[in-house]
Copies of this chain bind each other. A is one copy, B any other.
Amino acid sequence: MDTLPSPPPGRTAGLMQFVRRRIAAREWPPGTRLPSLRGMALQQGVSKSTVVEAYDRLAAEGAIQARAGAGFYVAGPLAPLALAEIGPRLNRQIDPLWVSRQSLDLGAQASKPGCGWLPDSWMPQDAIRRALRQVARDPDAPLTDYAPALGLPTLRSEIARHLGTRGLAVDPRHILLTDSGTQAMDLLCRFLIQPGDAVLVDDPCYFNFLALLRAHRAHIIGVPHDPDGPDMDRFEAALREHRPRFYLSNTGPHNPTGARLSADKARRIRALAQAHDLILIEDDIFGDFESSPSARLTADDSRDRVAQVGSFSKTLSASLRCGYLIAREDWLDALADLRTATTFSGAGLTQAVIARLLRDGAWQQHTRRLRQRLARARPRAVRLLNALDVRPWHEPEDGMFLWCRLPAGIDGARLAQAGLQQGLMLAPGNVFSQSQSAGGMMRFNVSQMDDPRLPDRLATLLKS
């Protein structure tokens, strides 16, 4: 469509390459201000006019952006032209969206030990069919009107009641229903951060946290994760060095490691949050998989600086989209406004179907069965993997994930790429790692490993 610009002269091209490499390596993350024209000219030993031309061409490509009177800045990775320039296509197997794309778009016949959710056959299809028929008959069902801004009151009450049975006291007025847990976190990001703001995540963490935070052009700081929570020395050092706006983590069964936050670390994190003006975002979407409640970042006596996110995608249905967000009343108001501005309203009919499944206890019964089934699947998967010299980093008490070390010399990204050729979807460690230090790791889902051909297929793959 557009005509291509003429190729840049040598020095300009060299300088453009220099800038592109720093952007691609994320030494200069989105939002970074580039050196001034004069500073760059001095630093690189070129003329100021060479810098002007290089910056202008990079801006035309979309890799950087001029701000009036304020210099040049690295564009976000998701700006349209920047995608082509520095985007994930170059290295899709470690791009955090890679696993999502494969999981969402691979056919049902594919084997998905790298998938982040339970197989369709484990889900309560009959209960959902029954709830759909009940809603179709209900004269008061919300069939056509918009849902209230915070979401259907009946479902908010059911959620509060359920969290009560898990020991969390929540007022239904402090619950905002969203279309997914991810949307809840996206709203929190919109509310809390600006491009360039520092945020803390676990390293490794759920890969979509990285995609989400990059979409918000956050400066992402990873803190190494232990089986009982973050490495506290590194956590505290990151607070001092980067002054992050929030720490985002899933606590009980951690994704991808299956770690479980200890009460001691939870206390220390809360105290540090208070001292360093840090907000805590607790992604609790795996909490319903716990057989006994683990420690939480949320403490009943104060929600001042903690927001909690939940969802039904993992335990009920990912097709009935619904998540929720629990936060201070004054935040919730602003978050509901933001939701109205950006998606208008929630899915009332979906919320009504889920409310029925919670009210009649079908969902609670189903999650109990899921916990038992996972408890049986976990040791089977551990044996299978150990036999292949794939070693769990930690044996989790709950949940579906095993975070494993691959046999020496095997690179997870290459293995996943090879697996895909054979219809085998794997989750390579580096998609979870902000520091890209998990090349020898892989996440397995114990519920997706019952295919009897899987051991042989994995063995062949590991040998090739």
| Chain A 347-382: CB-based contact to B (< 8 A → 1; otherwise 0) | 111100000000000000000000000000000000
A43 at the B interface (CB under 8 A): no
- The answer to whether B195 touches A215, judged by C-beta atoms less than 8 angstroms apart, is no
Given known pairs A194-B65, A214-B341, A337-B78, the reply for A145 and B132 (CB within 8 Å) is no
Q: A133: CB under 8 A from chain B?
A: yes
Known A-B contacts A142-B319, A146-B319, A319-B349; the reply to A179 vs B33 at CB < 8 A is no
Q: Is A342 an interface residue (CB 8 A)?
A: yes
Return the chain B residue nearest A209 by Cβ: B341
Q: Is the CB of A342 within 8 A of B120?
A: no
- CA gap between A104 and B153 in the complex, in Å: 13
Interchain CB contact under 8 A, B104 and A146? yes
Binds B, one of A16-24, A183-191, A414-422, A429-437: A183-191
Produce 1/0 per residue, A111-127, CB < 8 A to B: 00000010010011100
A194 CB contact (under 8 Å) in B69, B79, B147, B348:
B79
- Distance in Å: Cβ of A85 to nearest Cβ of chain B: 12
Residues in B whose Cβ lies below 8 Å from that of A145: 108, 120, 123, 318-319
Say if the beta carbon of A447 comes within 8 Å of chain B: no
A:33-63 near B, CB below 8 Å? 33
Which of A95-103, A160-168, A255-263, A400-408 is the interface stretch?
A95-103
A343 at the interface (CB under 8 A from B): yes
Q: How many copies does the complex hold?
A: 2
A130 vs B137: C-alpha distance when bound (angstroms): 9
Instruction: Give, as a whole number of angstroms, the nearest-CB distance from A218 to chain B.
Output: 12
Given known pairs A103-B146, A148-B105, A349-B320, the reply for A78 and B190 (CB within 8 Å) is yes
Residue from B78, B149, B318, B337 in contact with A338 in the complex, judged by beta carbons closer than 8 Å: B78
Report the minimum CB–CB distance from A75 to chain B (whole Å): 7
Closest beta carbon of chain B to A454's beta carbon, Å: 20
Q: Is A83 an interface residue (CB 8 A)?
A: yes
Candidates B97, B125, B191, B331; contact of A144 at CB < 8 Å: B125
Residues of B close to A137: CB separation below 8 A: 129
**Interface pair B215/A190, CB less than 8 Å apart:** yes
Q: Which residue of B lies closest to A107 (CB)?
A: B148
Measured CB to CB, the closest approach of chain B to A98, in angstroms, equals: 10
Q: Is A461 part of the contact surface with B, judged by Cβ < 8 Å? A: no
Cβ contact within 8 Å between B317 and A349: yes
Additional A-B contact list (18), CB under 8 Å, known A33-B70, A125-B144? A78-B190, A80-B334, A97-B340, A103-B146, A129-B137, A132-B136, A133-B136, A144-B316, A146-B319, A182-B343, A186-B343, A195-B195, A211-B341, A212-B341, A313-B344, A318-B348, A319-B348, A321-B345
Contact sample, A vs B, 7 pairs, CB 8 Å cutoff: A70-B70, A80-B192, A104-B149, A120-B145, A179-B343, A183-B343, A317-B349
